[in-house]
Amino acid sequence: MKKQPQDDFIEILTDKYQLLSLDESDLIRELDLGCGVGSFTAALAQRYPERKIFAADVMIGRLRKLVKRNKRMDVNNMTILRVEARNLISYMFPDNSLDRIHFLCPDPWPKDRHRGHRVLVSDFTSQIHRVLKEDGVFHFASDDEDYYAMGNNALRMSGLFIEEVQHISDIADIKSDFEVRWLAEGKKVHHTAWRKIPRPAKSIGH
Ligand SMILES: C[S@@+](CC[C@H](N)C(=O)[O-])C[C@H]1O[C@@H](n2cnc3c(N)ncnc32)[C@H](O)[C@@H]1O
């Protein structure tokens, strides 16, 4: 793969299984998981310049477009990561490190034989819970009715989250690239938000 000038602004984490070293001075951190070309992420970063925004995707070409977009929009509070979503959440973010995760219009893998490729499945929910801060929020959107129902069911059944949509009202006007595309085609895109239920403190005990 030929190096492009934008690559200096992308951290390639593929195949690295180590904790990210985060800047302690970040007060609020948000992650766009599977950000694509990143209109949503860039608008989020521009709205909240005091926050650290992470944008992650496997496709380098999409991330390069995001680098160019950030330059055009003068966005300077974003870290761009090339990485597989499950590896990032399961191995690289420390416990209690993120305020919000946005998981927008993920690839739906509609065929039965491809369901295993879906990122949001029941055994992933505990890792999402682990990396969110105490009142952290998981923002999930999909145009695919089946994936939307399945994902929400996995979050509900985990017992680790409570559905509270008010935690995404501040960004209801920001649309992702795929959302814009689906809306133009007359499809509906559903959004919801799940707040982490903190685990009870361990009692010292008898
Ligand atoms: C349908 S696009 C949605 C992009 C963006 N969230 C939006 O709403 O416009 C799905 C994105 O997820 C990325 N993706 C798919 N599977 C992934 C995985 N396992 N890890 C990281 N990114 C992934 C794809 O490369 C693609 O950019």
Q: What digits encode the pLDDT tens for the residues 147-175?
A: 999 999 999 999 999 999 999 999 999 99
Asked if the structure places residue 192 within a domain, the reply is yes
The two tokens of residue 52 are 């650290």
Examine residue 25 and state whether it is found in any structural domain, yes or no.
no
pTM for this prediction = 0.95
CA distance 184 to 191: 17
Residues 26, 57, 74, 107: which is the catalytic one? 107
Ligand 1 centroid, distance to 38 Cα (angstroms): 10
Look at residue 130 and tell me if it is in a domain: yes
* Closest CA relative to residue 195, chosen from 172, 168, 176: 168
Whether 195 and 135 have beta carbons less than 8 Å apart is answered as: yes
The Cα–Cα gap between 115 and 182 comes to 21
Mutate to test the pocket of ligand 1, among 11, 57, 69 (most ligand atoms within 8 A of CB): 57
Position 205 scores a pLDDT of: 63
Q: Is 150 within the bounds of a domain?
A: yes
Torsional class of 15: left (φ above 0), alpha (ψ -120 to 50), beta (otherwise): left
82 C-alpha to ligand 1 centroid (Å): 11
Exposure string over 151-190, b if 16+ CB within 10 A, otherwise e: bbebbeebebbeeeeebbeebeebbbbbbeebeeeeeebe
CATH of the domain at 136: 3.40.50.150
First vs last Cα of the chain: how many Å apart?
60
Taking only the tens place, the pLDDT of each residue in 33-55 is 999 999 999 999 999 999 999 99
Do 127 and 90 meet the contact criterion of CB atoms below 8 Å apart?
A: yes
Enumerate residue ranges in the chain where pLDDT < 50: none
- Look up 26 and say whether it is catalytic: no
Instruction: Enumerate residues lining ligand 1, CB below 6 A.
Output: 34-36, 57-59, 62, 84-85, 104-107, 119, 176-179
What's the domain range around 133? 5-9+30-108+116-196
The pLDDT score that the predictor gives to residue 126 is 95
Residue 23 maps to a domain: no
Contacts of 24 by beta carbon, 8 Å cutoff, 6+ apart:
none
Residue 203 belongs to some domain of the structure: no
Whose CA is closest to atom 13 on ligand 1?
Answer: 34
Q: Which atom of ligand 1 is nearest to the CA of 57?
A: 22
Residue 73: predicted pLDDT: 98
> What's the CA dihedral at 138, 142, 145, 147 to 10 degrees?
-60
What pLDDT sits at residue 14?
A: 78
The count of structural domains within the chain is 1
Please check whether residue 151 lies inside any domain of the structure. yes
Distance 77 CA to ligand 1 centre (A): 21
Instruction: Indicate the top mutation candidate among 107, 175, 185 to test ligand 1's pocket, ranked by most ligand atoms within 8 A of CB.
Output: 107
